[in-house]
Structure 1
Amino acid sequence: MKKILAIAVLAGAATLPVPALSAAFDFNGSFAQDNDVVRFDFSLGLPGAVTLFTSSWLGGGFDPILTLWDGGGNQILEQDDGSLGGALVSNGVTYNYGEFDSYINLNLAAGNYIATLTQYDNFSVSGILADGFLRDTDPVFTAAFGCSNGRFCEGSLVDSNNNPVEPNRTNAWDVHFLNVDSASVNSVPEPPTWMLLGLSGLFFLGGRLPKACSSAGKSVSTAVFV
């Protein structure tokens, strides 16, 4: 009788829900226009530390911005230059990231989240994803920064060693998610018409928003949500 009971208990335990194991997800692609936006949806079955980072800057890619949103499209944080550079392993591959890559490391509660990728200085208009981004009406906004390519331009920028960076960037991007349960690429909703009209007037004269400070003075952004 004891042996039969033990088998019955094990069979019952096997039917209990088991939290998904955290994993790593790597995505890469290219922008067609300066103001493209790539949206990623990801989820956590349990609270934990999550890392999101880009690794395309060192290979010549454009200056990326990662913005993190909750599942309802409310902004949690927006990150331009998040680290002085380093290396992380994802799915057995070591990815190097530079000081102008975007790097986010934070603790999140279990749930669904959204991340968006844009090119500097295409920041979000507000704390609501549906409101869109600053450069939604200008597909070649980086031409005003200055470079011979006429798009994907970095302009006059120096690194933490005071060395000028190459102003002609490529349209390539690489984004990595560490310690999440799932991640996928999805489309971004179009901003409302009234927002597009307002932004058109705001950026009619072009120009670049100055970076807040040198990357040498920035630290990795860390936040805790419970």
Structure 2
Amino acid sequence: MRPSPRRYALIALLPVLCGPASAAYVFSGNLAADDSVRFFTFTLYNPGHVLVDTTGWSSNGFWPAVYLWNASGTALDAAIGGNGGAPGDVQLDIDLSFTVPDPTGVYYLALSEYPNNSGGVDLPGGLPTSAIFDHDGLGNFTGLAATGFCSEDRAGAFYAPGPLDCVQGSGAWGLSIAVAGGALIGTVSPYPLTVPEPATLALAMGWLAGLPLLVRRRRASRAPAFPFPA
């Protein structure tokens, strides 16, 4: 029998609620526009390396860039897919992969489409916001000739330099966060955290709370209808 959607909603919370681990955490989705940004947060429990990989470009996505901050909002590192060459430089695999040695603590990671950059700016108030990115609020801009990707203005989004002119991808993205060098990582999640609505979560928790009673009732229902001999 398949688990109900309510069980899936509860199971989705387990990676966040459980303790440290060493496995890779994989996320995927679609950006709505060129200026969209996706944030993630994770906790590193002991020193080691954090490995970040994107897989969107190879599946007809967009040109990715990632940015890293610590719990205080201080900008630590950034990486752009491919080699960040001039427009027109052919990138057969613009997916990025970088390793950052970090001490323990909470970190924020952002995924955006190049050239929507954060410019190494710290997070105001120590909390993620897309307002620090260069093209925030501009919607779709990569198809504009002024961006340098296309020779003339193009409608739509998710353009990147191509062999002859710009090429259009999609908003699809994939991202994994893992660790190496003996590090332990935990509470990896999108930011802000998306959890089941209160009513759904309460219903799921209520279902778990009532499970022992349900088992007892089922056991009682299996009792013989006639009395045992004295």
Report how far residue 165 of structure 1 moved.
8.2
**CA distance 1:165–1:101, shift in 2 (3 Å):** farther
1:151 equivalent in alignment to 2:181: no
How big is the shift at 1:150?
A: 2.2
Question: In the alignment, does 2:74 pair up with 1:74?
Answer: yes
Measured at CA, do residues 54 and 165 of structure 1 come closer, stay the same or move farther in structure 2, by a change above 3 Å? Answer: farther
Contact 2:159/2:168 (<8 A) preserved? yes
Asked if the contact 1:149/1:168 (under 8 Å) is kept, the reply is no
Paired AA for residue 187 in structure 2: S
- Aligned partner of 2:46 in structure 1 is 46
Displacement of 1:121: 0.1
Q: Is the partner of 2:159 in helix, strand or coil?
A: coil
Residue of structure 2 aligned with 1:109, choices 103, 114, 120: 103
Residue 153 of structure 1: how far off its partner (Å): 1.0
| C-alpha deviation, 1:127, in angstroms | 2.4
Q: Give secondary structure in 2 for the equivalent of 1:58.
A: helix
- Counting only pairs closer than 5 Å after superposition, residues 2-13 of structure 1 correspond to structure 2 as none
Deviation larger for 49-58 or 165-174? 165-174
Separation in 1, partners of 2:97, 2:155: 27
Task: Flag structure 1 segments of 5+ consecutive residues without an equivalent.
Answer: 1-18, 84-97, 159-163, 189-226
How many positions carry a matched residue from both structures?
Answer: 151
Q: Give, in angstroms, the shift of residue 149 of structure 1.
A: 4.9
Structure 2: tracts of 5 or more residues without a match: 1-18, 84-91, 125-130, 180-184, 194-230
Q: Which residue of 2 aligns with 1:184?
A: 189
User: In the alignment, what sits opposite 1:64?
Assistant: 64
- TM-score, normalised with respect to structure 2: 0.59
How many angstroms does 1:148 deviate by?
A: 5.1
SS of equivalent to 2:118 = coil
1:166 and 1:38 mapped to 2: Cα distance?
24
How far the C-alpha of 1:81 sits from its partner, in A, is 2.2
What secondary structure is seen at the aligned counterpart in 2 of 1:141? coil
Aligned partners of 1:23 and 1:182 also within 8 Å: no
Indicate the larger mover: 44-53 or 164-173: 164-173
Alpha-carbon distance in 2 for matches of 1:21, 1:56: 25
Task: Determine the structure 2 residue equivalent to 1:168.
Answer: 168
Larger radius of gyration: 2
Determine the C-alpha separation between the residues in 2 that align with 1:44 and 1:23: 13
Rate the CA distance shift 1:187–1:132 in 2: closer, same or farther, 3 A.
farther
> Is the contact between residue 82 and residue 104 of structure 1 (CA under 8 Å) also seen in structure 2?
no
| Off by >6 Å, runs of 4+ in structure 1 | none
| Aligned-partner Cα distance in 2 for 1:82–1:71 | 28
Q: Percent identity?
A: 27
Question: Contact 2:121 / 2:132 at 8 angstroms: preserved in 1?
Answer: no
The two structures, once aligned, show a CA RMSD in angstroms of 2.5
Name the structure where helix makes up a greater proportion of residues: 2
Whether the aligned pair in 1 keeps the contact of 2:36 and 2:112 (CA below 8 Å) is yes
How does 1:207-222 map onto structure 2 within 5 Å?
Answer: none
Letter in 2 for 1:138: L
Of 87, 94, 114, 1:100 maps to 94
